[in-house]
Chains A and B, each alone.
Chain A
Amino acid sequence: MALYAGIDVGSRTTKALLLNDEGEIVSYHVLFTGADPKGASSRCLEECLRKIGKGMKDLEVIISTGYGRKLVSFATKDYTEITCHARGAGFYFPQLRMVIDIGGQDSKVIALEDGMVLDFVMNDKCAAGTGRFLEVMAQTLEMSLEELAQEASRAKHAVPITSMCTVFAESEVISLIAEGISRDRIVWGLHLAIAKRIASMVKRLPQGRPIVFTGGVAKNKGMVRALEEALGEKLLIPPDPQLVGALGAALLARDLKDEGNRLNHYRTD
């Protein structure tokens, strides 16, 4: 059985996913990237193969993506997250016209036509409106990410958050806590602030529907709710949104098999 691997080396987590010749997902693995993205990519892929009793020799093509994509020396080729998320989201929703991807360090909106990237926008050069932003806010509020998401999914009222800079927003949240504002209002306010920011990115692109929400932050039900409220419409969520980039990379790996780009040796150092 020939296997096609996609590795998404993200700023927070590394994801590896394997497809077989029929295009079925046969294995995947997620681990924290930490300070060694190169090491994380090989460990993640090895673990992914180990789960199904396979080895590197069974891999036909490997595609890397994510911020650490250039560090994956054993990859056949690399593609940007934009291309991979568009391709991966299209696997679940072929009719899609837009992808919102919120990852650890960046957020992007991609407009598509017939499965091809038409245009895209990304957040500014900071962690505003990303997974990292929510992590910092969760720490400030002494909550886990799960608790934060849960709180946001059922909160009724929001307190307006004006700063989107992670550092300033943290100070703002501390001031709100000191004023005695309840935690659920702060949490919902934070989610709505991010959602408004993403909604303005959506407006800057050619308008097509439906919209698919991918990336690790799409697992946060509160964020889904906030985005749906800001956009005034339902979003499509793939079964495992965090894996969409790796899936897209694996699909591109499978595409490459016909182009004669097969691997002839493997190296994981």
Chain B
Amino acid sequence: MREIGLTTTVPIEIIYAAGCIPLDLNNLFITSPDAEKLILEAERMGFPRNTCSWIKGIWGVVKERGIKEIVAVTQGDCSNTHALIEILQFQGVKVFPFAYPFDRSRELLYAQMEQMRRYFQVSWEDIKRKKEELDEIRALAHEIDRLCYEDNLVSGYEDHLYLVSTSDMKGDPQAFKREMEEFIKKAKTRKPFREDLRLGYVGVPPIFTDLYQKIEALGGRVVYNELQRQFSMPFRTDDIVEQYLLYTYPYSFFYRLEDIKREVKRREIHGLIHYVQSFCFRQMQDIILRKELKTPILTLEGDRPAPLDVRTELRLEAFMESLRAKRW
């Protein structure tokens, strides 16, 4: 089957409707046992040390897995992707560029999706049918999310894993569906988690390998995974163009902020962890986040796929101590 690598979330309905297998390259990179090696390989190729590790990891995983074709997001994600595409094209990878319009224009987004539809040679009818199938699966991920923040039966890490996997449905939607159904069944038999601090996680998924585990060991619980939840298309609509307009990640930070504020309140969050990737332009958005939210925020910066360093761990622990002192 034709495998299509993705640099970030795109309308996978179109890819699946064409009978292709979408593979989120970020997920492949971060779950690789050789994630660090993939980065080193990219650096040996000439990728600068002061460039985002996700970009280098994506390049590494495309090479390692021999992926021949990708859909690359050229607007709404990261401008480093432009050079990444050029390098991959230079090395013979076929690239379909996809751009989310900055102004959330329905017309422009429709035009992009139409172009993508033609590229994959599918009809809007096929896409609609695929959307119905995938939405059912997404609903399971939303139920896992609810079990996390409402019933306290699912850990923050599990919530993160299932939500983040919705970007490509692990390349096999039906198997992913069965996996989630099994998981939900099991989770419902658990005793609720009792950690006293409810934390929210804002930002791109972490490159740290043990962040959730460390938070839990310190008696905290992540009950909100902001962008991972966005990858799961949390705003239900039958209109596929509308769905990708409601998706917050590729658009203005102010639009994301509305979603963050709403969820912080709904999920009764005591403190937020704002994760930023080293060398990423999104680090600057921390300025707005801190001014716009009253909830205490800890900003953590990660560079390579590794456990938390001692200093970051100290900051996390101190943040949780201060949240506890404020509560009692």
- CB <8 Å contact, B315 and A122: yes
**How many whole Å from B219's CB to the nearest CB in chain A?**
13
| Majority secondary structure, A binding face | mixed
- CB <8 Å contact, B311 and A117: no
Is A170's CB within 8 Å of the partner chain B? no
Cβ-neighbour of A116 out of B314, B317, B318, B326 (below 8 A): B326
Q: Which residues of A contact B296 (CB under 8 A)?
A: 118-119
Bound Cα distance from A79 to B318, whole angstroms? 8
Known: A116-B326, A119-B296. A83 touches B321 (CB 8 A): yes
Per-position contact with A for B298-322: 1 when CB-CB < 8 Å, else 0? 0000000000011100110110011
Is B83's CB within 8 Å of the partner chain A? no
- CB <8 Å contact, B318 and A80: yes
**How many whole Å from A85's CB to the nearest CB in chain B?**
10
**How many whole Å from B299's CB to the nearest CB in chain A?**
9
Bound Cα distance from A106 to B325, whole angstroms? 23
Bound Cα distance from A19 to B107, whole angstroms? 71
- CB <8 Å contact, A79 and B321: yes
Is A82's CB within 8 Å of the partner chain B? yes
- CB <8 Å contact, A118 and B309: no
- CB <8 Å contact, B309 and A125: yes
Report the count of interface residues on A (CB-CB < 8 A).
14
Using CB atoms, name the residue of chain A closest to B325.
A116
Report the count of interface residues on B (CB-CB < 8 A).
12
Bound Cα distance from A20 to B237, whole angstroms? 66
**How many whole Å from B235's CB to the nearest CB in chain A?**
33
Bound Cα distance from A226 to B144, whole angstroms? 54
**How many whole Å from B59's CB to the nearest CB in chain A?**
25
- CB <8 Å contact, B311 and A106: yes
Cβ-neighbour of A117 out of B309, B314, B321 (below 8 A): B321
Bound Cα distance from A79 to B314, whole angstroms? 10
Using CB atoms, name the residue of chain A closest to B323.
A117
Bound Cα distance from A163 to B155, whole angstroms? 44
Cβ-neighbour of B322 out of A81, A116, A122, A125 (below 8 A): A116
Q: Which residues of B contact A80 (CB under 8 A)?
A: 314, 317-318, 321
Bound Cα distance from A166 to B296, whole angstroms? 32
- CB <8 Å contact, A83 and B310: no
**How many whole Å from A172's CB to the nearest CB in chain B?**
21
Q: List 19 A-B contacts (CB under 8 A).
A: A67-B310, A67-B314, A80-B317, A81-B314, A81-B318, A82-B314, A82-B318, A82-B321, A83-B322, A83-B325, A106-B311, A116-B326, A117-B321, A117-B322, A117-B325, A118-B322, A120-B315, A122-B314, A125-B309
State the B residues within 8 Å of A (CB): 296, 309-311, 314-315, 317-318, 321-322, 325-326
**Other contacts beyond A82-B322, A83-B318: 7, CB < 8 A:** A80-B314, A82-B318, A117-B318, A117-B325, A118-B296, A120-B322, A122-B311
8 closest A-B pairs by beta carbon, nearest first, are: A82-B318, A117-B322, A80-B318, A83-B321, A80-B317, A116-B325, A125-B311, A80-B314
